[in-house]
Chains A and B, each alone.
Chain A
Amino acid sequence: MSQHPPRDKRDPLARRKDRHVPPGLRSSAMHAMSARAAAGCFVLQACQDCGAVTYPPRDACPRCWGELLWQDQARGALVLCETTIRATTDLYFRDHLPWRMGKLALDAGPTALAHLHADLKPGDRADMHLMLDKGGNAALFALPAGGRPDMDDHQWREFTVPVKDRIVLVSDARSAIGRAVVKALHSAGAGLIFAGMAPPSRAADLTDELSGLDRVQTLPFDITDSSLVAEGISKIAGPLDIVINTARFVRGGRNLVDQKRMMDIAVLGFMRLSAACAPLLAGRPAGAFVDLVSIQALAGEAGFAGYAAAEAARLSLLHSFRHDMRAQGVRVLSIFSGPSDDEDHQSVPPPKVAPSRLAREVVEALHMGRETTCVGEVASDAMERWLADPALFVREKNL
């Protein structure tokens, strides 16, 4: 009889903590910046004509009124001055006072207000990170120059999803990717990992290698039925911080039975899982939902047409789910990958993504709070081409 590892003991009568998000109103230009921040880029606008770099986002160059383009910029900066905010009318920041911020002179040119890491003071060099705040909008965060992200900094934690000591559900831990994700979470110090085991159950499930790990518990879990999802989640019997949806069904060809199953897992399964987990995640200080989605979702692909269609539908739902969860401060992360080096893509030539690499990137995406991650060359290349010229990319993928 396995037992849950001990979780934090809490006052059973304490009222549930309402979660808030930072102010969310932004200009269209700022949303463009956020869209790039979502992919982990550090960008600022530069003038197409005079080259001047500008911030905050504008709609015309303040030097020559030329067109502005988003460009990657140097991350270096110098801290000019600082303050510790101890009073605010905003509900989110009230929950997190005192809050340190400062003004920095960016190596790229402009000055900018930014959240300050606890170790930074005026005169220090800093590295700028364009992070997404709890409301999903881009915000500048200054870390000490050359330093690693610091998961203990209480402000930095607000922009990331700490894994250490958190309770995680992996929807399908039977696949090579699912197993790798469980192991990566385990290495990252997750407090308790529920490894979902999709049917059919096997005799060997009881002695599965995963359940041999401390802090890992296997759990019958099937996202193709709402009542089974509910039953699975009921067995978690406590808070849930992070859900990682590794479930997928990959088949080529045009078999309708396969297609239905692909839709049932990728689309309806996503809906069942996300709907069941949303209220649990919303109550947590750093809730996150991570979905592994195929890069084929972007443009479809002859040969995997049905699978790509299911993944495209899943991606569409993922966008909407992100919207739904934004007001609750729950991060919804997309991990795109091309063919993985597993039984699902035996007939696809390399390059392929090793499940262990995909798993590491899941943990990294959580630790950076990165909304969109492309793992491997196939996914990165596809995303780049799709962003550059979607019509051409769709054509090329289906020539």
Chain B
Amino acid sequence: MSDAVQLPSTILRIPRLGSARSLMNALIGIAALLGVWWFGGFIVENDPDLYAFADFAPAPTLERLWEMIVSGEVLTMSGPSLERVGLGLLFAAAFGVPVGILIGRAPRIHEVTNVPFQFLRMISPLSWMPIAVMAFDTWDGAIVFLIAMAAVWPILFSTAAGVRRIDPAWLKVARNLGARPLHLLGTVILPAIAVDVMQGIRLALGVAWVVLVPAEYLGVTSGLGFAINDARDTLDYSRLAATVVVIGVIGFALDAAIGQLVKKFNWVRATAH
């Protein structure tokens, strides 16, 4: 404790130091991942039994990735995937947010729906695949359905939890000032839960992005999942590995973007009191 008192200038600098340090730590992590990847490639390359897979190594992969970016192939393959994930999330939110609000507001509805929803939530979204294929005319429809089935639960439960945390005094004050039910929804409930909804969407995106690739193994002839499957079938391993990198990078970027939205909607300020 006494040391800390003697070093005020160091303490003041910690925030700046901290951000530089965390950036450096992130770079170390990335370098470590590349190192493991490179080492795996090195072993494969020097093993006569595995030599066919040498294109998985970083050098051929990144070279191929660059070609794919320049040729626009990366955009062509990720466009349809982003559209499917976006639509799936949209349907999931269109169902999950209103139902989540109802569940959060009405304990009775919560009690009635809790067991069925928890039951459905635990079913792997991919197990709906045969049903989805039968129920939808198009492969795209089936894929969007699978993504929505995966994405709806985090959004719904996060919304409901947010509504339950709303301070009852806010509603009392609003009613006293003449708020009608739509005012309560628009001025109190939705702004209060915006951050919970965004956090739900962030979780949902994580699940949806994972479900996307196997879902795109279905009949479609576009998208990242199809590209993976296609590269495997044509033994084009550098393309396969490059696609994996693309999937990871896009997923990371989307998550970071929604993370920023979560921050934006978070109304809790650090106060001095």
Question: Do chains A and B interact in one complex?
Answer: no
Interface residues, chain A, with chain B CB atoms under 8 Å away? none
B-to-A contact residues, CB < 8 Å: none
